[in-house]
Structures are given as structure tokens and as C-alpha cells.
Amino acid sequence: MLTSLAGNLGEFLFTGNYFFGGLSGAIYGLIGYCFIIELGNRFRRYDLPESIYIFMFLWLLLGFTGLLSVFGFGNVANTAHLVGMMSGFILGLIFKSTTKI
């Protein structure tokens, strides 16, 4: 819920777009959270393949370059993705610092 709110609020505040929808910011937040939790651990807590993380970073990069709209994917809420991912990173860091994993 927090990553969804952060992503959508970030998209609105940074771009001024108010007519958008979707939960991709929330998904980016969840994957970002999992990335931080699994980073540096000896075991895989969520067992997500590394390709998910690679795809997340590459899709974010492609979105900001504008290539996605060139290839017909339309307008993408890139700021929602970025802010959602950053909020997931922050939540992961908070969780990691307060618990022993």
C-alpha cells in the first residue's frame, strides 16, 4: 500500500499528470523491497530469479529514454516506477535494520 501511494503521489507531484492509473509503482516497490532484503544474504528469502531484477532496472531505464513510446508501448508512468522502487528500497532498508534476517 505504501509503495503504491508513494509511486502515484510521486508521478503526480513530479510530472503534474493526474490522469493515470495502474499499480506498476506498487509492483516496482515490492520488487525493490525484495531486492534489498535479498541483497547480501546467503539465502534467498523470496526466491525471485535475478532476471526479474535485471528486467526491472532495464525497463526503468528504457522508460526514461523514451524508447518505449517509439516502439508503441505508449506513455509510461516512469516517475511512478522510480518512486515506487525507491520507496521499496527504503522500506527494505528499514526492515533490514530493525530485524535480524
Q: Is 69 a catalytic residue?
A: no
Helices and strands (H, E) in the chain, number of each type: 5, 0
Q: Is 81 a catalytic residue?
A: yes
Burial class, 75, CB count within 10 angstroms (exposed 0-12 / middle 13-18 / buried 19+)? exposed
| Catalytic residue selected from 4, 51, 81, 87 | 81
| Catalytic residue selected from 24, 51, 87, 97 | 24
SS3 of 11-45: HHHHHCCCCCCCCHHHHHHHHHHHHHHHCCCCCCC
Report residue 45 as a C-alpha cell. 528469502
Active site positions, annotated: 24, 81
